[in-house]
Structure 1
Amino acid sequence: MTLTIINARMVGMSGLQAIGIDDRQVATAPIPMTMLEPRPDALIDVSGDWISPGGLDLQINGALGLAFPDVQVSDLHRLDDICRFLWDAGVDGFAPTIVTTSIENIHRSLAVFAAFQQRQAEASRDTPAAQIVGIHLEGPFLNSVKRGAHPEEFLLPLTLDQLDRVLGDHADLVKIVTLAPELDPTGETIVA
């Protein structure tokens, strides 16, 4: 069934717009209301309110009482809850952030998120939920002088060997790494 949202304001477009949605996907490009042909579809009149694409949260350390560096296999159902919570807040995709912690904690968290992403990919999309777009690793390759709240005992030198050691079997899952570029003066590790 196609749903048509009418009388919507959209960033970068002048005047009120209409947009068609089919099976939760944009089916028609926004068109000015003056060009809308009446159709028997379901209509939602947003009366001049703004509509926009869903948000993308690239640094979220946890939600609903769960800190992502502490995630366990037993928390998979809580990750489902977080994905629905974020969707309800207007977030389409997010990058769970694992802050500086022990390598063991990083490996465990990455393994849990890998299992969750696999489960998410295989699940039906009957219930809308935000999708994980990759993991954000914040540290442990930070400058000890500028580390903020990151525990100094878990900071590591920025080398290819250390990066491989931290990423372990889940390098493909990590899409963002926050690091101190001054720890890699030649750029060898950053470029890799």
Structure 2
Amino acid sequence: MTFVLRAPRIHTGQRVLDDAWLAVSESRVVALGSGPVSAEFSEAPVHDVPGTVVPGYIDIHCHGGGGGSFAGSGEAALTAARTALRTHLQHGTTTMVASLVTGIVDDLASTVRTLGPLVDSGELAGIHLEGPWLSVAHKGAHEPTLLIPPTEQDIATIFDAHPGAVKMVTIAPEVEGGMEAVRNFVARGAIAAIGHTDASYDDAAAAIDEGVTNVTHLFNAMNPIHHRIPGPIIKLLEDDRVTVELICDGVHLHPAIIKHAVTAAGKGRVIFVTDSMDATDMADGDYVLGSLEVRVENGVARLKSNGAIAGSTLTMERAVQYAVTEAGVDLGDALAAATTTPAAALGRTDIGHLEAGALADIVILDEGLNVSQVYRRGELAVER
């Protein structure tokens, strides 16, 4: 079926069109423009939408939502994963990478085996391993007794559980075998991301030279900036070979830090992520992240044992709103961080934009940047 969306403004990811229209056929964008709709589509139904049309949001670091997480194995795990996907779809996320927290290697392999078919079908864009190859010094909400040095055998056990499913791995490159592991991930076609790391400035530089191209939640779970000991953050911001993730929830980062990072990194290098857990869109209370007990109060998730931040209850809808309204980030830059830049990091040219040929993953925003409608693959999936 072919139809046309007409809106006051369309952010395509490459340009901004006013008094705009966009034609969808089957699952893809086939044409767009400003002014009158092309005569080619004169017989197609036209849907006038009052807001701004933007590409579907892309989240490359998310652990769950709506009571479901990306963990476990078997049919129950598939049901939970789809619950999380539906929850974030309600907030404009049309492409999701499922993040797994630190666990036993065989258990992680079992989860990859379970979620692999969702990657094959396109329901997931891939799987992200956040652990177990992290620094104990910056473990965050990861069980310290399960943090281990990477070995070729363990890497193979997880990756080969469902070949092609693992798209990104967070690693502390300074741990024993870390640099070799970075090379291994890259050789397998996965993104190597530095994070939960005790790395120095020089360690970060060496890791980038070995193939690291992304930073897991910049500033969080890594050495801070010091005027005599710069740590990794300065290097990660200044090197244009890497993209940097930011969690824009007002808990992980001060708004001034968000604005500074966007400015310092420059165009095409910032990726907004949620790092959200199953408590997203749920009531406050007690939850579990991996094997760790979490308490959510006023929407903020913290470990019950020591009060450390334990992921978030953020949505990409709120991340874009917060960046623009609280941190003062330009709307175009915020949208890029939620669409085109993560798409590029994943090596995808069919998502993250709304030019002809792209998948018709479309979000309609009102004046407050609230999501009012979501199309996924050309089908209306959400209408508020």
TM-score interval (norm. to shorter): 0.7 to 0.9
Deviation of the 1:45 alpha carbon: 1.2
CA contact (8 A) 1:156 1:162 kept: no
CA contact (8 A) 1:7 1:33 kept: no
Query: What secondary structure does 1:51 align onto?
Result: strand
What's the counterpart of residue 177 of structure 1? Answer: 169
Tell which deviates more after alignment, 18-27 or 69-78.
69-78
What's the counterpart of residue 152 of structure 1? Answer: 144
Q: Output aligned runs, 1:9-88, within 5 Å.
A: 9-11=9-11, 12-28=15-31, 30-34=32-36, 36-37=38-39, 39-47=42-50, 49-88=51-90
Distance across 2 between alignment mates of 1:163 and 1:131? 24
Distance across 1 between alignment mates of 2:173 and 2:181? 9
- Alpha-carbon spacing, 1:68–1:7, altered in 2? closer, same or farther (3 Å): closer
CA contact (8 A) 1:138 1:178 kept: yes
Deviation of the 1:42 alpha carbon: 0.9
What's the counterpart of residue 155 of structure 2? Answer: 163
- Alpha-carbon spacing, 1:165–1:73, altered in 2? closer, same or farther (3 Å): same
| Matched letter for residue 148 of structure 2 | L
Q: Which has the higher helix share?
A: 1
Deviation of the 1:74 alpha carbon: 2.8
* Identical aligned residues as a percent: 22
**Any unmatched runs of 5+ in structure 1?**
122-129
CA RMSD in angstroms, aligned pairs only? 2.5
Structure 1, residues 59-99: CA drift from partner, whole Å, max 9, x if none? 11112212222344333334334434433332221111111
- Alpha-carbon spacing, 1:43–1:184, altered in 2? closer, same or farther (3 Å): farther
* Aligned counterpart in structure 1 of residue 101 of structure 2, from 89, 99, 102: 99
Report how many residues are paired.
Answer: 180
| Matched letter for residue 66 of structure 2 | L
Deviation of the 1:171 alpha carbon: 4.5
TM value normalised by structure 1: 0.80
CA contact (8 A) 2:59 2:95 kept: yes
* Aligned counterpart in structure 2 of residue 137 of structure 1, from 129, 134, 151: 129
Distance across 2 between alignment mates of 1:179 and 1:51? 36
Q: Which structure would you say has the larger RCO, counting Cα contacts within 8 Å and 6 or more residues apart?
A: 2
Structure 1, residues 37-62: CA drift from partner, whole Å, max 9, x if none? 47232111123x21111111111111
- Alpha-carbon spacing, 1:145–1:75, altered in 2? closer, same or farther (3 Å): closer
- Alpha-carbon spacing, 1:88–1:161, altered in 2? closer, same or farther (3 Å): same
What's the counterpart of residue 198 of structure 2? Answer: none
Structure 1, residues 146-167: CA drift from partner, whole Å, max 9, x if none? 1111111111103323322443
What's the counterpart of residue 7 of structure 1? Answer: 7
Deviation of the 1:34 alpha carbon: 4.7
CA contact (8 A) 2:65 2:85 kept: no
CA contact (8 A) 2:151 2:177 kept: no
Structure 1, residues 104-125: CA drift from partner, whole Å, max 9, x if none? 321221121024445xx3xxxx
CA contact (8 A) 2:67 2:83 kept: no
Distance across 1 between alignment mates of 2:158 and 2:178? 20
TM value normalised by structure 2: 0.43
